[in-house]
């Protein structure tokens, strides 16, 4: 079964918002074993939308639209698809009731225009929206299926996962399950080199790498007659990958981020961590504290951007700063030691470097970063030479710092 994704909204064409819906749906459909051959973006214009639908319906078995289901006059996805399929839109009383109840619960004024969202194509499958007012719909025709989803990701994702996936599983000739393995400290080409024979000689399950900023995600996908069989097929492949890549594998699962893993390890072991940040400007602390429950393992962090604050807040020796500079192994070591001493944490990391786009020299170029870790049993610093934009350098430096916390807490070899 082939799919085309049709994202509706002039704001997408103008670049006002990023089209994360297409990324999410492509990934989820791939995990289910379906092929997405095309993605299209079209503005809030009925003629152009109709033209896009005509093209999509000719080259895909199913078209998934996102956006254009709202209450305003330029929300025309549902009406345009109904017209294309020769259907009328009629009021669905259950959807109308749910819209009224949602506004009532929030003590909000409800414009009459919201009832437009409850007008659905005749004979369609209605997808209830538990996170917003716009229901979705599935219209089945002889040659193509049209699946209409709301644009806001917080509404689209649960509707797709909870209602569309069970519908689509009826059209799969088997059960497909996937598992993600997250890798840090090896680039995509290095991972590919280490796993090439395994990937070339594996047809079910398959292994596919996906590069992310500073890390690699591997997706294992298995197809079988039942869910249990498909899940069972994933296990030996995961074990083979972990044996090859070793402790560069830090977690499994799409949503199992480095910070999530680190917080989980610290909580499990009853450890506390802190951070002293210069070039990362609080990004390490932000990553840790975005995880629920991080208060159990993180009391405070230090953002010391200037030399004065490095000395005042962390106790970095002024002579060290004068002799070696803020961006140096010596300063990084003193930053981590000072942060651990002042916070009372079990593990402290520090980051100091030149993130750019200015400030680099021949001796200390943009992308030079020193990361230090300090614990009861170790006190070391590592030199990084990172490339890319300012945001990329800060992100990768933060991930390296978190990975050192992970390694230290687990008693693994400390390495970059």
CATH number of the domain that residue 114 is part of: 3.40.980.10
Q: 348 in the Ramachandran plot: left (φ > 0), alpha (ψ -120 to 50) or beta?
A: beta
- Of 116, 142, 171, the position where a domain reaches its end is 171
- Could you tell me if residue 415 is inside a domain? no
265-294 pLDDT per residue, tens: 999 999 999 999 999 999 999 999 999 999
Is 416 inside any structural domain? no
pTM for this structure? 0.78
Range of the domain at 59: 2-171
CA nearest 151: which of 36, 5, 8?
8
Mean pLDDT of the 358-365 span: 95
Give the residue from 171, 206, 238 where a domain finishes.
Answer: 171
Is 19 found in the same domain as 142? yes
Final residue in a domain of this structure, among 252, 273, 308 = 252
Q: What is the CA angle 324-330-335, rounded to 5?
A: 115
pLDDT-derived band at 254 (thresholds 50, 70, 90) equals low
Other CB atoms within 10 Å distance of the CB of residue 124: 23
Whether 230 and 367 map to the same domain: the answer is no
Determine how β-strand 273-277 pairs with β-strand 302-303. Answer: parallel
Report yes or no on 233 lying in a domain: yes
Asked if 241 and 267 sit in the same domain, the reply is no
In a shared domain, residues 158 and 232 = no
What domain count does the chain have? 3
Asked if residue 165 and residue 17 are part of one domain, the reply reads yes
Show contacts of 120-123: CB within 8 Å, 24+ apart: 120/78, 120/89, 120/90, 120/91, 120/92, 120/95, 121/78, 121/81, 121/82, 121/85, 121/87, 121/88, 121/89, 122/82, 122/87, 122/88, 122/89, 122/90, 123/87
Is-contact 275 339, C-beta < 8 A? Answer: yes
Please check whether residue 43 lies inside any domain of the structure: yes
Residues 312, 344: one domain? yes
Instruction: Tell me, yes or no, whether 40 lies in a domain.
Output: yes
> Does the pLDDT of residue 106 top 80, yes or no?
no
Whether residues 275 and 380 share a domain: the answer is yes
The DSSP symbol for 53 reads H
**Are 138 and 186 within one domain?**
no
277: domain CATH number is: 3.90.950.20
**Residue 105 pLDDT:** 84
């Amino acid at each position: 079964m082939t799919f085309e994704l049709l994202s509706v909204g002039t704001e997408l064409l103008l670049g006002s918002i990023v089209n994360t819906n297409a990324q999410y749906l492509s990934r989820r459909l791939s995990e289910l074993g379906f092929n997405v051959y095309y993605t299209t973006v079209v503005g809030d214009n009925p003629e152009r939308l109709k033209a896009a639908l005509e093209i999509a319906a000719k080259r895909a078995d199913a078209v998934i639209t996102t956006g254009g289901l709202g209450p305003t006059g330029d929300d025309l996805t549902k009406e345009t698809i109904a017209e294309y399929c020769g259907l009328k839109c009629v009021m669905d009383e259950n959807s109308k009731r749910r819209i009224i109840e949602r506004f009532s619960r929030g003590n909000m004024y409800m414009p009459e225009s919201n009832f437009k969202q409850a007008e659905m194509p005749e004979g369609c499958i209605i997808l209830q929206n538990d996170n917003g007012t716009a229901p979705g719909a599935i219209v089945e025709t002889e040659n193509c299926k049209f699946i209409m989803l709301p644009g806001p990701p917080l509404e689209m994702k649960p509707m797709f996962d909870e209602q569309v996936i069970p519908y689509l599983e009826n059209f799969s000739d088997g059960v497909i399950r996937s598992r993600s393995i997250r890798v840090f400290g090896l680039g995509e080409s290095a991972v590919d080199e280490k796993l090439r024979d395994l990937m070339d000689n594996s047809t079910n399950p398959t292994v596919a790498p996906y590069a992310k900023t500073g890390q690699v995600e591997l997706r294992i996908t298995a197809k079988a007659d039942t869910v249990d069989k498909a899940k069972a097929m994933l296990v030996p492949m995961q074990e083979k990958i972990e044996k090859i890549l070793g402790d560069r594998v830090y977690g499994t699962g799409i949503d199992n981020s480095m910070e999530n893993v680190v917080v989980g390890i610290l909580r499990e072991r009853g450890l506390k961590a802190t951070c002293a940040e210069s070039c990362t400007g609080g990004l390490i602390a932000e990553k840790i504290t975005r995880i629920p429950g991080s208060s159990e393992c993180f009391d405070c962090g230090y953002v010391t951007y200037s030399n004065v604050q490095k000395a005042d807040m962390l106790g970095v020796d002024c002579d060290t700063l004068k002799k070696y500079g803020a961006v140096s192994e010596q300063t990084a070591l003193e930053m981590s030691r000072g942060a651990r001493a002042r916070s009372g944490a079990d593990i402290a990391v520090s980051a100091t470097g030149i993130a750019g786009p200015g400030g680099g020299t021949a001796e200390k170029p943009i992308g030079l970063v020193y990361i230090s870790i300090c614990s009861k049993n170790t006190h070391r610093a590592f030199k990084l030479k990172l490339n890319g934009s300012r945001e990329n350098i800060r992100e990768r430096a933060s991930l390296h710092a978190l990975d050192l916390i992970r390694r230290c807490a687990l008693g693994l070899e400390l390495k970059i």
